[in-house]
Each structure stands twice: as structure tokens, then as C-alpha cells.
């Protein structure tokens, strides 16, 4: 089962290695990981998607890292989740129109055109990106790169599940 | 303001932390730090191997409760520290390790004696630092000591490139510690404390299951008050021996794989475990599914990650053990002390019917348990015992009657053979007026015996009993019980002359080969105080540690002795 963790960390060298090493120690595969600065100076946010049956113990272990400030597990059903993808699709002159038509439905932008292929940029939910990929796959995917997933909780009526300690 | 080097800033920062001794081995990259150290009031003890320096720092921390400090150079110096760091992490021992590193310009270039120390030690420390800015040294040292000694204590490493040590700076008084991601909880949640007290009042068969957390929190006095107040029997884990006096009417002894029948069985029959500063280690629980099957659990620990890790807690309480015991005592106020008669009577019957036992024949080989009991008798129990890892460790823990915290020092979690000699040295340096007796096996002894040179040359009169059974005794025990008696690679079979070794390394050497020689030889060892003493005890190689719960078996299946092996699967 995939879990999305939003981890606020101090922006220090080696923090990524500490977090990754801890997940590796538990044998968890990191599905995707995105790191970037936050609005708070000196702090970074990691959005980590991991494949694991349950995360309670790992969240507690992650909290033991001195540079980890806050961990929030985001519910995929309600959280805002986004990815960005660059995909180069095989599209010789005769096929460009069809491919562009699909792209326009998905609001994917053509960012490069060559004699035999076109490159699109698309952002959105992981589901939307996968749907777009399914539709262009028959034309032939030459190359593909995805950002890690980034995610944020929606404004909640109930208190978000912040994990500081057991009690 | 005068200009100082990074090395001078480091030593000044250590002085400000109250450090009185550093255990270390010098080398190229750390040399700049050794220069001002020479002029400092801080004593340096030259270990003969960095692993020894690390265990010495641990022994010092165990014995005193203060942070132990180890120093080593880059590369092999740092990698040799990995074992004591991992040991300290497992057993929550507060130490700070300072390592030299190649200059920052050479880092990552496979320079001479370069190792990626912070990377290698990341999973073996509570936290570590790679310092690239000389101005940060005082603050990093302050933070390192704070992290090592607060919350769940543990090892912290500071890696210092040579050019950072030689760069100049001005002394900056370290500021307030503000670590956004590190704020250990101290006080227990009042509602949880109230729930705990209610459960204790209702329980028919409660047991206090306590460990190293009591010792780390200096909570022994509070534990005793609480146990007496609620009239609940106490079992102390290997890490918690001495947290509660063994001669107390409520004491059950040690639980677990080689625990007393009474402690193991009391846990199995309990309807409530009051677990404080313990982590439900596999050596205590045996097969987890069948451990204390009828018990509700109150789990008190300063580390939230320990709660629910192995066993779900009905009442989790995060915080400092001493503080929470005080809260529990306050919350109990107004209630009467229960008489708990049926339960305490049952326990008294187990104690009577299933005591620890061994059979010392007057003309037979020396039984190791007899040596522990004789040493206890001759010292009146007034000593700090430091064990290596193996059978001798278990016998020492079983047969010594502990009465005080911090006077039993051993490697519990990592099980580091070779721990005893250097840890005893560290303990003796920390508490020079105490009698420090290491109980070692011949296998363990051979792993760190060179530190006897340190003890002799630095004038640290520790005593080391070597239980010589010419084998890795615990390995042979398992091979005899579970591998059809095939003693693969476990018999040392050598004719090592431990007396000559001792004398050759500047220590006194003694030997006892028969039971009647044990007491006089131990007495001789106690009379020598001008140098370290090694006492070789030629013990019965066939003696095994009992009781025993085989690894992975249920704690309902205790093997009581060699005559009880029919129960083996």
C-alpha cells in the first residue's frame, strides 16, 4: 500500500541521506521523493511516497532524527497531490495532429517538436498524468521523466493528524 | 578578542561541558586537537585501540551518568569506533566521539586515511556532525552533549576536518540550544498517569518490568518507593540490574532467556505489566505472541518509538522515568497499599521451589557460578561488576546480588564481546574509589586484552577475572543443545598462559585451578591495589547457563537445568 508522507526537515547537508537510510533500514521502497524549500527559512519539505503495509513505527523512527521537525501522513483521498511530467512521444509529421488533440484535452503543453517526435509538459494529479500516458502510449513513448509527487493537505475542518508523540 | 584555532575552541568547549577525561588514540588528522589537549586540565587516557577508547567512554558514562568522550583520528581510527558507537546506541549510553577528518579540500578524493565517517556512523549514532565552519565548533559541541545526555541518551559523533581544526576563529560562547526537531518529552500525560494508577489498583497479578531506563533516569529511589507503595513485585532486565535491590522482598530477579524461573513465570501469569524503561527485547519476551498473554500493559518510556514497537500498550506514557514514577506516586495518594496476598504467596512459592542452582563438588572442576558467589562474599557485594558477553555475563548477572544502580555494567543490546576490560577501565576512571571487577570469558578477553596495557601504564587498577573454559562457551552451549554437539569453530583449545600475559602487560597475574583455590586467589587479587590484576579461573568447560528459554520458544518452556533437557524441541 502506498503512503504519502509530508516531512518538514531542517535544511542541512545530509538530511536526505538520513531519511532515505532510515527508510532503507526498514526495507521500505521509496516510490517517489521530492524535496524543496518551504516558506519558512532554513526548512525544507520532503514529500515521500513509500510502499509499506503500515507506517506507524517508521514515522516514530523518522521523528527520532534530530533534523526532522514534523511528519504528516496525507490521506490520498483528500490531499492535494501533484506531479509534473515531461514525455517525448513518437510523432512523425502525419501523426502530430492526433497527438496534439489528446494533449489539448489534458492541457499538456508541447515544449519541443522535432522531425520524428514531440515533447509535452503536463502537470496535475498522478491519475491524470497516468491517463494521458495511457492515451499517448500507442504512438510510442521515446522518453519520459516525472518529478516526485508533491502533496499538501486541504484546509481541514477537523484537526490534521500531526504526529508529535504517542500522547 | 584573541584569535584561537579550531582545535583550541574544541578543547575549550569540552572544558566548558565539564569534561575531565578523554579516552583516545591520536593520528594524523586529529593531531591539531591533541596539541591544546596536552596543555588542558582534561586528562587524556591513551587507549591501545580506538574500540577500547570507545568502550572506556561507555564504561565511564555507565558508572558516572556523565557523558563519556572518545577521540580518534580519521579513517581507521573512526571505523574502529563504530562498534562502541553501535553498542552505545543499543544500550542508550551517552558518549560523544570526536574524530579527525582529512582536510575539506581532500574530502571525497580517497585521501590517505579517509573514510566517510558521518556516513558510516549515521545508523550507529543518535546524531552526528560534519563541521566545515570553524566558528561553529563551540555550538556543535554544546549541542552534541545536549543530544547525547537528554531524552533517550545515546552516542553523538563530531567529525572535524584537519583544516577546520587549524583554522583560526575567536571564541564564541555557545548560545541557547534550539533544535526544532529535538524536544524530548519529560512529563507524563496526567490522564495517562491516572489511567495507569487505576489499572494498578484493579490488578490481581501485577509485575513491574523495569530496565535500563530506570538507571539512565536515576530513578531507583522513586522506583523503590513506588513498588513498596503499590506492593508490586519487580523484575529487573539485564540492562536494569541494580535498579532495584535483589535482596528486597519484592525482587524477582532477571527475566528472559536466562532469567529466574520466578521472574519469567510471574510475567507469564501476570494480569498487568508496568513496564518502565524497557523495550520488550526478544531476549526478554521469547516468542512475542505467547509473552505475558494475560497481561494488560502500561508502558513508560522516554522514547515514543519504543511504545507499541513490540507489544501494544494499553496505557502508553511518554516521558522521563523518574518524573513519571513521581507522578504515579502522587496519583496514588489516598489509596491503601494492597496486600496482594494470593499473588505474592504464589511468587514466594516459586522462589522457594525453583531457585537458581548449580552443583559445586569439592574435588570437581571450578563452577563459574561458585566464583561469582565467592567474590560476592569476599567483597560483601561492595563492587562494580563489568561483564563481557557470553556465559560469564549471564552467571554474573544471575548470581551477584545487586543493590545499587550503576554498579553493573555490560553490553546488553549489541552483545559486544571484548566490552569488559575497556569498560572496566572507563568505570574505574569515573569512580576511582570503587572496586571495579571485570568478569570476562577467555573468548571475550582475547578480543580487547591489549587494553590491559592502558590500565597498567595509566595507573588504573582494575581487576579482571577470566573464566577460562577454553571455548566460546555460549556458542558451545548452543551447539550442544541445538546442533547435535558439533563444536564447530567454538573451541579455542589453546594453552594460553594468562598469568604470563598479565605480567607481560604490566599487571599482576593469578590463577586458580581447583575450588579450594578460588577464595584465596580472589583474596589476593583484592589485596593488590598498585596495578591491574588478572585472575585466571580454570572453570568447568561443560557448565551451561540455566534456566534457559531457547531462542524463539515461548517463555512457558523454561529449561531449568541439565536434568531438564527433555523439554527441548
Looking up residue B93, the CATH number of its domain turns out to be 3.40.50.970
Q: Could you confirm whether B112 is annotated as catalytic?
A: yes
Taking the C-alpha atoms of residue B504 and residue B471, their distance in angstroms, rounded to an integer, is 23
Indicate whether B198 and B342 sit together in one domain: yes
Closest Cα in chain B, distance from residue A61 (Å) = 6
Q: Which residue has the cell 560534519?
A: B130
Indicate whether B349 and B394 sit together in one domain: no
| CATH number of the structural domain A80-150 | 3.30.70.1150
Question: CB of B521 within 8 A of CB of B371?
Answer: no
Indicate whether B270 and B124 sit together in one domain: no
Which residues does chain B have within 8 Å of residue A61's beta carbon, measured at their own beta carbons? Answer: 305
Question: CB of A55 within 8 A of CB of A96?
Answer: no
Indicate whether B381 and B425 sit together in one domain: yes
A103-133: string of b/e by CB count within 10 Å (b at 16+)?
A: beebebebeeeeeebbbbebebebebbeebb
Nearest-CA neighbor of B262 among B275, B279, B249? B249
- Compute, in degrees rounded to 10, the torsion defined by CA atoms B260, B264, B267, B269: -110
Taking the C-alpha atoms of residue B27 and residue B150, their distance in angstroms, rounded to an integer, is 31
Q: Which residue has the cell 539485564?
A: B238
Question: Does residue B560 fall inside a structural domain?
Answer: no
Residue A60 contacts B where some CB pair is shorter than 8 Å: yes
pLDDT band at A158 (very low <50, low <70, confident <90, very high): low
Taking the C-alpha atoms of residue A128 and residue A151, their distance in angstroms, rounded to an integer, is 15
Instruction: Choose the closest CB to B316 out of A10, A69, A167.
Output: A167
Question: Does residue B557 fall inside a structural domain?
Answer: no
B144, B180, B323: best to mutate for the A interface, most A CBs within 10 A: B180
Indicate whether B389 and B333 sit together in one domain: no
Query: Is there a shared CATH topology between the A2-74 domain and the A80-150 domain?
Result: yes
Classified as helix, coil or strand, B391 is: helix
Domain ranges of chain A: 2-74, 80-150
Asked if residue A163 has pLDDT above 70, the reply is no
ipTM score = 0.91
Q: Could you confirm whether B417 is annotated as catalytic?
A: no
Question: Does residue B558 fall inside a structural domain?
Answer: no
Instruction: Choose the closest CB to B181 out of A67, A165, A166.
Output: A67
Burial class from Cβ neighbours inside 10 Å (0-12, 13-18, 19+) for residue B302 reads buried
Range of the domain at B28: 3-170
Bridge partners of residue A150, in order along the sequence: A82
Question: Structurally, how many domains does chain B consist of?
Answer: 3
The one-character DSSP state at B65 is S
A167 with B309: Cβ contact below 8 A: no
Question: Does residue B474 fall inside a structural domain?
Answer: yes
Residue-wise DSSP of B130-163: E---GGGHHHHHHHHHHHHHSSS--EEEEEEEHH
Please tell me the least confidently modeled range out of A24-38, B247-261, B347-361, B477-491: A24-38
Indicate whether B157 and B11 sit together in one domain: yes
A167 with B308: Cβ contact below 8 A: no
Asked if residue A164 has pLDDT above 80, the reply is no
Asked if residue A162 has pLDDT above 60, the reply is no
Q: Which whole number is the average pLDDT over A57-83?
A: 93
Assess whether the previous peptide bond of B537 is cis (omega < 30° from 0): no
Q: Strands B3-5 and B168-170, how do they pair?
A: antiparallel
Q: Any residues with CB less than 8 A from the CB of A96 and at least 6 apart, and which?
A: A113, A118
Share of chain B above pLDDT 90, in %: 97
The domain spanning residue B346 has which CATH number? 3.40.50.1220
Q: Which whole number is the average pLDDT over A77-93?
A: 94
Of residues A163 and B339, which shows the higher confidence score?
Answer: B339
Indicate whether B348 and B375 sit together in one domain: no
Asked if residue A167 has pLDDT above 50, the reply is no
Indicate whether B199 and B151 sit together in one domain: no
Closest Cα in chain A, distance from residue B191 (Å) = 10
Taking the C-alpha atoms of residue A159 and residue A152, their distance in angstroms, rounded to an integer, is 14
Q: Which whole number is the average pLDDT over A8-15?
A: 94
Homologous superfamily of A2-74: ACT domain (3.30.70.260)
Q: Could you confirm whether B113 is annotated as catalytic?
A: yes
Indicate whether B217 and B153 sit together in one domain: no
Question: CB of B551 within 8 A of CB of B256?
Answer: no
A21, A42, A167: best to mutate for the B interface, most B CBs within 10 A: A167
Indicate whether B391 and B522 sit together in one domain: yes
Q: Could you confirm whether B162 is annotated as catalytic?
A: yes
Tell me how many helices (H) and strands (E) chain A has: 4, 9
The rounded mean pLDDT for chain B is 97
Q: Strands A80-90 and A117-124, how do they pair?
A: antiparallel
Taking the C-alpha atoms of residue B500 and residue B287, their distance in angstroms, rounded to an integer, is 45
Taking the C-alpha atoms of residue B59 and residue B71, their distance in angstroms, rounded to an integer, is 15
Instruction: Choose the closest CB to A69 out of B130, B181, B316.
Output: B181
Instruction: Choose the closest CB to A68 out of B181, B188, B317.
Output: B181
Predicted local confidence at residue A9, as pLDDT: 97
Indicate whether B433 and B342 sit together in one domain: no
Model pLDDT for residues B8-32, shown as the tens digit of each residue: 999 999 999 999 999 999 999 999 9
Share of chain A above pLDDT 70, in %: 93
Residue A38 contacts B where some CB pair is shorter than 8 Å: no
Q: Which whole number is the average pLDDT over B52-69?
A: 98
Question: Does residue B556 fall inside a structural domain?
Answer: no
Which residues does chain B have within 8 Å of residue A66's beta carbon, measured at their own beta carbons? Answer: 126-127, 147, 179, 181-182
Taking the C-alpha atoms of residue B101 and residue B392, their distance in angstroms, rounded to an integer, is 38
Which chain B residue has its CA at the smallest distance from A42's CA?
Answer: B180
Q: Could you confirm whether B327 is annotated as catalytic?
A: no
Predicted local confidence at residue A155, as pLDDT: 83
Model pLDDT for residues B137-188, shown as the tens digit of each residue: 999 999 999 999 999 999 999 999 999 999 999 999 998 999 999 999 999 9
B116, B122, B181, B323: best to mutate for the A interface, most A CBs within 10 A: B181
Residue A165 contacts B where some CB pair is shorter than 8 Å: yes
Indicate whether B158 and B265 sit together in one domain: no
Q: Any residues with CB less than 8 A from the CB of B57 and at least 6 apart, and which?
A: B23, B68, B69, B70, B84, B88, B95, B96, B97, B426
Amino acid at each position: 500500500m502506498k503512503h504519502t508522507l509530508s516531512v518538514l526537515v531542517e535544511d542541512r547537508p545530509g538530511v536526505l541521506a538520513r531519511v532515505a537510510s532510515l527508510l532503507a533500514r526498514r526495507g521500505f521502497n521509496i516510490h517517489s521523493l521530492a524535496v524543496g524549500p518551504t516558506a519558512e527559512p532554513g526548512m525544507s519539505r520532503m514529500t515521500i511516497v513509500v510502499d509499506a503495509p503500515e507506517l506507524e513505527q517508521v514515522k516514530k523512527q523518522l521523528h527520532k532524527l534530530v533534523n526532522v521537525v514534523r511528519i504528516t501522513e496525507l490521506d490520498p483521498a483528500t490531499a492535494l497531490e501533484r506531479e509534473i511530467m515531461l514525455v517525448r512521444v513518437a510523432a512523425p509529421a502525419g501523426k502530430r495532429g492526433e497527438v496534439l488533440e489528446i494533449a489539448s484535452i489534458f492541457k499538456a503543453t508541447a515544449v519541443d517538436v522535432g522531425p520524428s517526435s514531440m515533447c509535452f509538459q503536463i502537470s496535475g494529479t498522478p491519475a491524470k498524468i497516468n491517463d494521458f500516458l495511457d492515451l499517448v502510449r500507442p504512438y510510442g513513448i521515446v522518453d519520459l521523466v516525472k518529478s516526485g509527487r508533491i502533496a499538501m493537505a486541504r484546509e481541514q475542518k477537523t484537526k490534521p493528524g500531526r504526529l508529535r508523540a504517542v500522547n | 578578542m584573541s584569535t584561537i584555532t579550531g582545535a583550541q575552541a574544541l578543547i575549550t568547549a569540552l572544558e566548558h561541558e565539564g569534561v575531565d577525561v578523554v579516552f583516545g588514540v591520536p593520528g594524523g588528522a586529529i593531531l591539531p586537537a591533541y596539541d591544546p589537549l596536552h596543555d588542558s586540565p582534561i586528562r587524556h587516557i591513551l587507549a591501545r585501540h580506538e574500540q577500547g577508547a570507545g568502550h572506556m567512554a561507555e564504561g565511564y558514562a555507565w558508572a558516572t551518568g556523565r557523558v563519556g568522550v572518545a577521540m580518534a583520528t580519521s579513517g581507521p581510527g573512526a571505523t574502529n569506533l563504530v562498534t562502541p558507537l553501535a553498542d552505545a546506541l543499543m544500550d542508550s549510553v551517552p558518549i560523544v566521539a570526536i574524530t579527525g577528518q582529512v582536510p575539506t579540500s581532500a574530502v571525497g578524493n580517497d585521501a590517505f586515511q579517509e573514510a566517510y565517517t558521518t556516513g558510516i556512523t549515521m545508523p550507529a549514532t543518535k546524531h552526528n556532525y560534519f563541521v566545515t565552519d570553524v566558528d561553529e565548533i563551540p555550538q556543535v559541541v554544546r549541542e552534541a552533549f545536549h543530544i547525547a545526555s537528554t531524552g533517550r541518551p545515546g552516542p553523538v559523533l563530531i567529525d572535524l576536518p584537519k583544516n577546520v581544526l587549524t583554522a583560526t576563529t575567536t571564541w564564541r560562547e555557545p548560545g541557547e540550544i534550539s533544535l526544532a526537531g529535538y524536544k524530548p518529552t519529560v512529563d507524563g500525560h496526567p490522564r495517562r498517569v491516572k489511567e495507569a494508577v487505576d489499572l494498578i489498583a484493579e490488578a490481581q497479578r501485577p509485575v513491574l518490568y523495569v530496565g535500563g531506563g530506570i538507571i539512565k533516569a536515576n530513578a531507583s529511589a522513586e522506583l523503590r518507593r513506588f513498588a513498596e507503595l503499590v506492593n508490586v513485585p519487580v523484575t529487573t532486565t539485564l540492562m536494569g540490574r541494580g535498579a532495584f535491590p535483589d535482596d528486597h522482598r519484592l525482587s524477582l530477579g532477571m527475566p528472559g532467556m536466562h532469567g529466574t524461573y520466578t521472574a519469567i513465570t510471574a510475567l507469564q501469569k501476570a494480569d498487568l505489566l508496568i513496564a518502565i524503561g524497557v523495550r520488550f527485547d526478544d531476549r526478554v519476551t521469547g516468542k512475542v505472541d505467547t509473552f505475558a498473554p494475560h497481561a494488560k500493559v502500561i508502558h513508560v518510556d522516554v522514547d515514543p518509538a519504543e511504545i507499541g514497537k513490540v507489544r501494544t500498550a494499553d496505557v502508553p506514557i511518554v516521558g522521563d522515568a523518574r518524573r513519571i514514577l513521581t507522578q504515579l506516586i502522587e496519583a496514588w495518594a489516598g489509596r491503601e497499599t494492597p496486600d496482594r496476598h494470593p499473588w505474592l504467596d504464589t511468587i514466594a512459592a516459586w522462589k522457594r521451589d525453583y531457585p537458581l542452582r548449580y552443583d559445586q563438588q569439592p574435588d570437581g572442576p571450578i563452577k563459574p557460578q561458585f566464583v561469582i558467589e565467592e567474590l560476592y562474599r569476599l567483597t560483601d557485594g561492595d563492587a562494580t561488576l563489568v561483564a563481557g558477553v557470553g556465559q560469564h555475563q549471564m552467571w554474573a548477572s544471575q548470581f551477584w546480588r545487586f543493590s545499587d544502580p550503576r554498579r553493573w555494567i555490560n553490553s546488553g543490546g549489541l552483545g559486544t564481546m571484548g566490552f569488559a576490560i575497556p569498560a572496566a577501565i572507563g568505570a574505574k576512571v569515573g569512580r576511582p574509589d570503587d572496586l571495579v571487577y571485570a568478569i570476562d570469558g577467555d573468548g571475550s578477553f582475547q578480543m580487547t586484552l591489549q587494553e590491559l596495557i592502558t590500565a597498567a601504564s595509566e595507573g588504573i587498577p582494575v581487576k579482571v577475572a577470566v573464566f577460562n573454559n577454553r571455548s566460546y562457551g555460549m556458542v558451545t552451549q548452543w551447539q550442544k543443545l541445538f546442533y547435535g554437539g558439533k563444536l564447530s569453530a567454538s573451541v579455542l583449545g589453546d594453552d594460553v598462559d594468562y598469568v604470563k600475559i598479565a605480567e607481560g602487560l604490566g599487571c599482576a597475574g593469578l590463577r586458580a585451578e581447583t575450588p579450594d583455590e578460588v577464595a584465596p586467589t580472589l583474596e589476593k587479587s583484592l589485596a593488590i591495589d598498585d596495578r591491574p590484576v588478572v585472575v585466571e579461573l580454570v572453570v568447568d568447560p561443560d557448565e551451561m547457563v540455566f534456566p534457559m528459554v531457547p531462542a524463539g520458544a515461548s517463555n512457558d518452556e523454561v529449561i531449568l537445568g541439565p536434568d531438564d533437557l527433555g523439554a527441548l524441541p
